[in-house]
Chains A and B, each alone.
Chain A
Amino acid sequence: MKQGPCSEEDCFSLLKQFEHILESDPLIDEVGFIHPSQFIMLDEEASSSNVYQNEVQPNNGTSRKFWNKDHKLGISTDILVQLCKYAKHVFLLALDEYKCHGNISCSPCTPESEVMKHSQAVLLLSSDFGTAWNARKLILSKKDQLSAFTEELRLSGLILSNSPKSESTWSHRRWIIKMISQRFSTPQEIITKESELVESIGERSKMNYRAWYHRCWLVSYMEIEQVIQELNKSKRWAGLHVADSSCFHYRRRLMLKILESLYVKGGNAYDKSEARKNWKEELDWNKELVERYVGREALWLHRRFLSLNWIMYFACNDSDVSPEPGESIIINEEIAIFIDNEIQLLESSMTVPDTKFEDFQAQALHAAVYMLWLTKKMPELWRMLEEKLGTEKVKCVMSTIALERPSLLHHLVNV
């Protein structure tokens, strides 16, 4: 494996090769950085009927640096650093040219197209290069065809295939969507596709907060019908990913939008009863999951949101006015029954049949914390807790928390 700096000529030819591949295969949907030793193996793996080779054959003695088959592009890791540095350098020169002289040029390559070509190359190698993204924004903001923006979505999708956690890339996608919605209309389809993209990226790239944040951001562009569709579509995935707090956070964002719509419009009776039905379903489903998958904090956190809002907005005596925060909640019969059931759930969660897998202990802890959190939001709950469980059991609940999360206990108990 050749090491050491490559000459300016070498870099130039590599960049040319790279940009040529990108141009000649606009359907590339995946980019990867691969070890030089993998080229042969990848050749073997790829469809044998597809004889298409990288057109620019390397000279004798030079090893291959790019692998391109079936719309996949691999870049050898041994040239990454030099290629990236060189591409940045060339991009900055092009940007200078564009800023100084505008888009006038005698050659067929306009400064604008040079900037776009080189910024694409740079960003595929180093996705967080802000200057490149901003240059593209500058040029794109002067375009008036939707296709320019959808093409940009394609490029950023390609970059995400290799850098799924790149914040600049996700942020750029939001910029594109904002531009589309300002200049054209926001077809629901774009938002749906974005949501699906996040789900597929979330599937293969775990703990991807930035992807999920992006999905939550999309909700502000959704109409209520789409919100409900999203809730239904993403339910199955959530049920299979019970340790993933982000996906339940996304559901809360969706449900919050439903809640908001009820009070902003002064929702009519039908809307509210639909929302009520959805809420009850979510509560029941969450309970099933909590009982089925023991000791999952994400599920209990989700229940906090569901329960509190159920009490405050749905179980309350019918009114179109949302309760003020801090206002005392009047415990009507429906609320009393609901709380009763929650206390029962707490009781059953506190039994720890065995300590081998830590799951039952975790369940007891999360249930205890959940209940304590509710009492902080609803001080009236304390009395009911003491009445139903008795002082001894309540002490047991508190000591469970004290053992595992003493600072949390301190925080929740003190006003």
Chain B
Amino acid sequence: MTQVPSLKILCIFSPVCTVNAYRNKNKTFFITDIVDTMTRLLTVMVLFSQVFATRVTADKPGAPQCEPQNMLLSNVSRELLVTWEVHASCASLRDQLIYELVVLVEDKPVHQEEFAVMADHIGSSHSWSWMSFLPLECASHSVQIRSRYTNQTGPWTTGTLPGLEPSAEIQVYPQDHVFEVGSRATFCCIVPLGKTFSTMFLSNYRDAPSNMSMVNNHTYALTVDLLWPTLVSDADVKCKAQMDEGGSCAIVGYPPSDTDLQCETRDFQSVQCFWTVGPQIFSDPTTYWLLEKSCNGQPKGKCSQKVKVNNGERNWTLIARNVLGSIELVDEADLTKRVYMYAPAHMTVSAVSARNVTIAWTWTVQQYNLLNLTCQINLYDGTTNIQIEMCDIGLQSVVLNGLIPNWSYSAKVQCATETDFWKWSEWSKSISFHTKGDIPDALDVWMHNVNHQTLIIWKLLEDHQSHGHIIDYEVTWTDLAKAEQENKICVVHPTHSIALNLSTFQKYIVKVTARNTYGSSDPSQIFISSQSQDPEMITSRINGTGGGFSLSWAANVTASCGYIVDWYPVSGNSSEWLKVPPSNTSATIYSKNFKDGVRYILSVYICTEEAPVLLEKREGYVKEQRIPDNMFNNLRWQQHASDVTISWDQISLKEQSAHIYGYVLYCIDESTVLRVTTDDPEATSLTAAKLKMYSYTFTVHALTSEGECGLTTINANLSIQTDDLVSAIIISLVTAFTLVLLITVVCYRSWACIKQKIYPPIPEPVLTGKWLSPKGVVPYCPKEELPVAVPKLHSLPRMSNDGYICQRDQLITSTKIPELDLPLKKNILQTSSLTSTRLNIPSVWVGNSGEYYPV
């Protein structure tokens, strides 16, 4: 058993026992209150003090008999220790005796105190200690003591502990002391005689409030508030006097502050404790004691000691000590309920079959055989870990069922107490084994119609399904109408399909089995009938999600064995499928063969007792891709007058890496762009109208969800076509001729008016009297001068611009001149004649087919 380090400072009969510590080489000493050790150390102290103590002198004799005698002052671990004796006659005193003490540093009083001695302690040696703010080496410390008993005081007795004298080198005190964070420390520098003090400072330390003072002619003090710990290096107090330099190291840290002690047992013969380690003092780590035994050499925060563990709670005590103090951590626990088991040992495997195996182990601690244990068996099959839990008293073996035949496994075990579960043991070493082989699992069979043949396909068995090396497959098919006639063919592995020429009008049953060295699998069968053929079903679009397709469909009551989803690329013959149980009406399909930009046909079949029935059909892309440029084959143009039609060949589905929603045509000349679109994905042409006779670039794009793509360009020079020119000339000529003719006719018919306008008649002179015979001259008779009857309105009138009334095609007015009953042959045409007169009457228009003609 390792002993606790003995204490150093002694406080004999003192009401106060000061805790102190000092550092000497690598050893740290502590004060404890162990009484027997104190007695032993008193002797040491007296001897020690004889070396350093200074004999004192009493101020004046004749005081009461209890005045201090043989007073000694000494420096014990930076404390001022004062010891004195009392005359034996004092032992007769009945009341307590008081000693008054005054401490002087460099003859200046700095502290005073009263020290009471109880009556039963009077008559022996006394001591008193005091921690000076200044290291005792730095200045002389004097103590004055006098006794007081029932208001009678004795004379002062004075003792002095002188400071160190200057030497040839700079001296700095205290040397290598450990301070607690938050404390105030005073360092002194004793300068050699003849040297001038320069400076004193703390280096290797964060900024700290400090104060310099002069103690005497050759001693200077630096007081520092030590607010931070020295973590990776000590701090240095440096003193300079001209060219000389001296110093000391100071270490700042915390007393132990470890927490969270927790103890357990592994073997009922020892205790193992853990705790959270607190901050450590630089270069002076905390030491630990568990059950009063040193934990030296054990890992940080962990300690174990040999002890017999019995039932029942008890205190498990850890003492943490450093130079600044100690703490005690206690964990009250019944360790029989805190068993941290050792891992199972000597793992073995026995009774290995195709699907079962027995794993056994032993315990290194005999007590485990009596415990109610729970064990976890971790079974690793190369890809996944399976954990199985078993319970029993002293559990030492388990049988593992449901293993994959012809398969390699590794197993490991960990255990814990079932009652009062504490924690799992470590895992045992892994043990490996290989199960025996077996017949293959049944195949997953499907069919696919290709080129009027029925392709029977099945999935190759994976390693965990084949249970041995697959040799071949046997395919048998029977026409249900001729059940006795069975056709059989053998397909060598790894071929996994066969094309059969089956009549579309018959029903067949096809069976496929796989064969390995252990035998043939159960047959997998599929019914083939015309129902299985894809009817002309409307295909809807589907968009891929996350690299696959998510499908859902309406439930069907006839789906006795679920649903089958199959898919294949429009450009290929291979088909993949997924069987879905009847309870599911959705599936998410992923395949390593899926490619972006490839259109897939997906079909959902109802799985029935007989042939599968197509339920719905979809097509889509896992992910659409931009259609590459120059997709349009045989792009051509045709001009119709100013219209141009751009045509292309039908785009096959294979070339479509995205759904096409329509097409767009750009007609680009030097300055303008004309855009023509269609929403018809089946369109194979687009027409641009009213183009000018320029040189054009025609660009055709397909409209997809990826944007306009598949760009294909064609250039064309538009020109006036010859036929059109001839037509235009003929039309122009005809138009001109018709116009001339019309003008001629109009002019002819309106000749009278025109003539009237252009060549009005020259009036003859009017002769009155007899010299002018009325018979000799036929008087000119303009129409307006004739009495005219008011025209009769037959239709809507319209005023001519020139105020003339014209007649078209037929005469619709009748004129009667009663007074002058002359025929109007001369001036009025019989038919199609135009009568023109300047009458101040409203013009009248006759409407016919939206045209109005002046009447």
Does A pair with B?
no
Spell out A's residues near B (CB within 8 Å). Answer: none
